[in-house]
Structure 1
Amino acid sequence: MDHYFTAPDSRAARAALEVCEEHTEPWLRNHSLRAYSWATARAAIEDVEHDGELLYVAALLHDLALTPPFDSHTLPFEEAGGRVAKVFAAGAGWAAPRRDRLAEVIVLHMRDDVPAEVDPESHLLQVAVSADVSGRRLDEFPPDFREALLARFPRLGFASGFLARAADQADRKPDCAAAGLMRTGWAERVRNNPLDRG
């Protein structure tokens, strides 16, 4: 099971972890690390072939624009995050098409579900983030994996911290995806995520 928690061995992966650790609070950093682990576990369950490095970097940077240094007052956070990630990827030496893919995966994590056969990395990140944030499809993951994941990367008040950021995004950008979610029962699902019980 340790391989679900093991980062790809690449310069870009190590740099993404450094950026995440430097610019995100512990509750948001752990969410990003859990997102990668949820995604790799889902890939194993569904037998989804994917680009591990691309998925890891996207998972670690997908919420970077929720942090004060990278927050945009005009763009939805996922679009701003995609643009920040493209700058990061350029610095890591990724070619333009790979930089574009990274941004696309980050943007799509807040969009309608993408089938694995169409876009495996976006699909895996969408499933991972929705499981971690609102508890969606948790029953499709083995209980022992869930327990090991929370032991390795504790929640640390994730729900309250994340909802505060989402509400702020919604207030300032009423047409963004976060605002759309806040107009539904999503916030209550986040508060009642089974991962935060006990």
Structure 2
Amino acid sequence: MSITKIGSFSWMQMTNGHLKAKEKIKLANTIIIPSVMGIIRTQLKSENHIEDNIALDNIKVPDSKIIVEAIKELDGNADTAIINHSWRTYFWGAALGHIHNREYDPEVLLVSSLFHDLGLTDAYRKTKGCKCFTYESAIQFEKKAQEISYDEQKSIKVKDAICMHMNGFIDENNEPEIILLQQGASCDVIGDKLYTIPKDFRNELLRKYPRENFNKIFKGLLAEENKSVKESRTNFLSKLGLTMMISMNPDKD
């Protein structure tokens, strides 16, 4: 993946997640229209609901060594709101992959989901310095992957997926796991594409992984990130209305 691609792990290594003026313009031009249209469709439910028999039990949950380690890392450092958000992100992403016939590697998507917000937890938020939280999350994944000699090609996908999920929108020319992590996280945080997911599936997922005041907690974590990394995508997206979009999420706490 090109080192010039905004949000990629290579880009993070060069920038620590700090956007330049030209990158802000490029990012804004990329995400504004899809984000606005997504909000409108979600609020108005302007597209036909997709009827589908998808259920939580139909979505594969790998139990490989890297997944076991990821669960330990997340459960040992995050509170319930972030833990449940991470699992919902996986299931939303997997559901969207199923609905739109997008093939993906369940292990890569799940480990990306479990690690994607680790940099916002107390264990790493206070020591990461001026790095973007997604970069810190990817670094912590990389350490664990190296410890267990995890597949190198899969590791590259996971790190890029984690780092790029805060771009706000992912082009179709990216790996499916990168697209689905962003879409799954966005679905959970602002309700994007929520209207395309069957109601029974939504209710089942929220019963298993309740939101636990997630909206309020997440807005607080983003506010802290904005203060510590002023040129981050988080700060930039907040200025574009991310906090308002979280408040407009149809899934209230």
TM-score by length of structure 1 reads 0.93
Q: Does residue 1:65 correspond to 2:119, yes or no?
A: yes
Give 3-state SS (helix, strand or coil) of 1:190's partner. Answer: helix
CA contact (8 A) 2:86 2:117 kept: yes
For structure 2, the residue ranges without an aligned partner over 5 or more in a row are: 1-54
Q: Which has the larger radius of gyration?
A: 2
Provide the residue aligned with 2:228 in structure 1. Answer: 172
1:128 aligned to which of 171, 180, 184: 184
Q: Does residue 1:153 correspond to 2:209, yes or no?
A: yes
Higher relative contact order (CA 8 A, sep 6+): 2
Deviation at 1:93, TM superposition (A): 1.8
Deviation at 1:110, TM superposition (A): 0.8
18-27 or 6-15, which deviates more: 6-15
CA contact (8 A) 1:48 1:116 kept: no
Query: Residues of 2 paired with 1:40 and 1:80: CA distance?
Result: 24
CA contact (8 A) 2:88 2:209 kept: yes
Query: Residues of 1 paired with 2:61 and 2:231: CA distance?
Result: 35
Q: Runs of at least 4 residues of structure 1 off by over 6 A?
A: none
Give 3-state SS (helix, strand or coil) of 1:175's partner. Answer: coil
TM-score by length of structure 2 reads 0.74
Query: Residues of 2 paired with 1:5 and 1:161: CA distance?
Result: 28
Q: CA RMSD in A?
A: 1.5
Provide the residue aligned with 1:75 in structure 2. Answer: 131
CA contact (8 A) 1:116 1:124 kept: no
Q: Does residue 1:13 correspond to 2:67, yes or no?
A: yes
Q: Tell me the matched-pair count.
A: 197
Identity percentage of aligned residues: 27
Provide the residue aligned with 1:118 in structure 2. Answer: 174
Deviation at 1:173, TM superposition (A): 1.0
Query: Residues of 2 paired with 1:67 and 1:135: CA distance?
Result: 23
Give, as a single letter, the amino acid of the residue that structure 2 aligns with 1:195.
D
Deviation at 1:5, TM superposition (A): 5.5
Give, as a single letter, the amino acid of the residue that structure 2 aligns with 1:27.
A
Give, as a single letter, the amino acid of the residue that structure 1 aligns with 2:147.
G
76-85 or 31-40, which deviates more: 76-85
